[in-house]
C-alpha cells in the first residue's frame, strides 16, 4: 500500500536525529559491555529485550561488579519508572486504538521517541504508523550500534564531530516546540530548576520524575489560578 | 554470570522496563480522562524535556555538583537561539553539534 509506505518514510525521516544520537551512545555501551566480559549476543539480546540506554549502562556496570539479579532488576525498574509519565501523556493521542498496536508501540517508548512523537502529534497530521516506524527505526539503530560497539567501538575516537551533543541539541529544539504559551515556559523553567536541585540531592535518576511531576503540577496550578482570575475579576 | 542466569536477568529487566511503558498507554487510551488530568498531562512533555536537559547543562557527575560555564551550557545558548529562530530540528541538531565540537577545541 502506497499510503503505508509514505507513513514508514515519514517515520524514518523523523527518526534520524535520534539515530544519530543513539549511535555513539550505543557504541560506547558496546565497548563497556565487552570490557565487562559480555559477548556480542548477550549485548544484542539486552538491547532488544530491555531497550533502555540508561539502565543498560548501569546493568553492565553492576554485572561487572558482581551485583545480584534482584539488585540489577530493581535498579532497572526505578530508572525506567519515568516512562510511566510519558506513556500516560501519549495516551490521549491513541483513543480506542487496538491493544495489539499499543503493546507494540509501547515497546519502543524511550525519552527520545516520546519527545519527537509528542511534538509531531501536537503539531497534527502525525500518523500512528509513522510513530511506530520511528520507534522501530530507533530501536534497530540502538541494537546495531550496541552490538557494533563490542567489535569496533574501541577504534572510534570519542567526541568526533560533536556527535555526543546530538541528543542534547535535539532535546533543546523539541523543548522549544513544546513551549506553546507562558504557562509552558514557566513549567519548563520550574522543571529545569527542580531537576538540578533534585539531581544534586537525590540518588540515581529519580530527578526526572520528581522534577517533571512537581513542575507540571505547579504549572497546572498556575494555569488554573490565571484562568480563575481572568474568569471572575 | 552463567548463560542461564544472564537470560533470567534479561527477562526480568525486560518485564520491568516494558510494564511502565505499556500499562498507562493501554489503560488511559481506553477511557475518557477527566479534563484536569488531560491538562496536567499536557504540561508533562515540556517538564520532562527540561528536566532531562538541565543537569547536563548545569551539573557535573561523580561527584554531583553544580557548575556554571560547562561546554554543554555554552553550546546550548546558540543552539537554543537557533531553535527559537528557525524552528528546524535538523538544523538545530547540526548547529548544536558544531558549536559543541568547536567549543571543545577552544577550551
The Cα A139–Cα A217 span in angstroms is 32
Chain A residue at shortest CA distance from B41: A89
With respect to residue A114, please indicate whether it lies within any of the assigned structural domains: yes
Residue A210 sits in the same domain as residue A152: no
Q: Is residue A164 part of a domain?
A: no
Burial class of residue A170, CB neighbours in 10 A (0-12, 13-18, 19+): buried
Specify if A16 maps to a domain: yes
Residue A172 domain-assigned?
Answer: no
Chain A: residue nearest B63 by CA?
A: A200
| Average pLDDT of the segment spanning A217-224 | 96
**Chain A residues whose beta carbon lies within 8 Å of the beta carbon of residue B42:** 89
Q: Look at A88 and B28 and tell me if their CB atoms are within 8 Å.
A: yes
Put simply, whether the predicted model's pTM sits higher than 0.95 gets the answer no
Give the model's pLDDT for residue A53. 87
The shortest C-alpha distance from B47 to chain A (Å) reads: 5
What secondary structure letter does DSSP report for B31?
S
**Does residue A166 lie in a domain region?**
no
Task: Write out chain B residues lying below 8 Å of A177, CB-based.
Answer: 87, 89
- In total, how many domains does chain A have? 2
Q: Quick: pLDDT tens for B41-61.
A: 999 999 999 998 999 999 998
* A90 in the same domain as A184: no
By Cβ distance, the residue of B43, B51, B79 closest to A219 is: B43
Q: Which of B8, B17, B92 sits opposite A169 (nearest CB)?
A: B92
Domain that holds residue A212: 179-233
| Dihedral sign, Cα of residue B93, residue B55, residue A106, residue A76 | positive
Q: Does the model's ipTM exceed the 0.95 cut?
A: no
For chain B, what are the domain ranges? 32-106
Write the pLDDT tens digit of every residue in B51-89. Answer: 989 999 999 988 999 999 999 999 999 999 999 999 888
Q: How far apart are CA B97 and CA A21, in angstroms?
A: 10
Domain boundary among A158, A187, A215: A158
Do A21 and A70 fall into the same domain? yes
pLDDT, tens digit, 9 for 90 and up, residues A37-79: 899 999 999 999 999 988 898 899 889 888 899 989 998 998 8
Same domain, A50 and A152: yes
Do A151 and A188 lie in a common domain?
no
A–B CB contacts, 8 A cutoff, strictly below: 282
Predicted local distance difference test score (pLDDT) of residue B31: 85
The answer to whether residues A46 and A132 belong to one domain is yes
Amino acid at each position: 500500500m502506497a499510503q503505508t509506505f509514505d507513513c514508514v518514510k515519514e517515520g524514518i525521516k523523523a527518526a534520524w536525529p535520534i539515530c544519530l544520537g543513539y549511535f555513539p551512545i550505543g557504541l560506547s555501551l558496546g565497548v563497556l559491555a565487552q570490557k565487562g566480559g559480555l559477548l556480542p549476543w548477550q549485548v544484542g539480546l539486552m538491547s532488544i529485550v530491555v531497550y533502555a540506554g540508561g539502565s543498560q549502562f548501569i546493568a553492565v556496570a553492576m554485572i561487572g561488579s558482581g551485583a545480584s539479579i534482584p539488585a540489577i532488576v530493581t535498579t532497572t525498574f526505578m530508572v525506567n519508572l519515568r516512562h510511566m509519565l510519558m506513556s500516560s501523556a501519549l495516551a490521549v493521542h491513541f483513543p480506542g486504538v487496538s491493544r495489539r498496536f499499543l503493546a507494540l508501540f509501547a515497546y519502543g517508548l524511550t525519552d527520545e521517541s516520546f519527545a519527537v512523537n509528542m511534538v509531531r502529534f501536537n503539531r497534527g497530521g502525525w500518523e500512528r504508523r509513522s510513530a511506530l516506524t520511528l520507534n522501530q527505526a530507533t530501536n534497530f539503530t540502538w541494537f546495531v550500534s550496541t552490538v557494533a560497539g563490542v567489535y569496533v567501538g574501541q577504534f572510534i575516537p570519542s567526541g568526533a564531530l560533536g556527535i555526543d551533543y546530538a541528543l542534547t541539541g535535539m532535546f533543546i529544539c523539541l523543548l522549544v516546540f513544546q513551549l506553546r504559551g507562558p504557562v509552558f515556559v514557566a513549567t519548563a523553567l520550574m522543571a529545569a530548576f527542580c531537576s538540578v536541585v533534585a539531581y544534586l540531592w537525590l540518588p540515581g535518576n529519580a530527578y526526572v520524575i520528581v522534577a517533571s511531576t512537581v513542575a507540571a503540577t505547579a504549572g497546572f496550578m498556575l494555569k488554573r489560578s490565571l484562568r480563575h482570575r481572568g474568569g471572575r475579576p | 554470570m552463567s548463560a542461564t542466569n544472564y537470560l533470567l536477568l534479561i527477562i526480568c529487566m525486560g518485564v520491568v522496563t516494558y510494564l511502565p511503558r505499556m500499562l498507562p498507554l493501554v489503560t488511559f487510551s481506553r477511557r475518557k480522562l477527566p479534563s484536569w488530568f488531560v491538562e496536567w498531562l499536557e504540561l508533562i512533555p515540556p517538564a520532562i524535556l527540561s528536566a532531562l536537559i538541565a543537569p547536563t547543562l548545569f551539573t557535573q557527575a561523580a561527584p554531583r555538583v553544580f557548575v556554571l560555564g560547562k561546554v554543554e551550557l555554552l553550546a546550548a545558548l546558540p543552539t537554543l537561539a537557533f531553535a527559537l529562530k528557525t524552528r528546524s530540528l535538523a538544523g538545530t541538531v547540526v548547529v548544536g553539534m558544531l558549536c559543541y565540537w568547536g567549543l571543545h577545541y577552544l577550551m
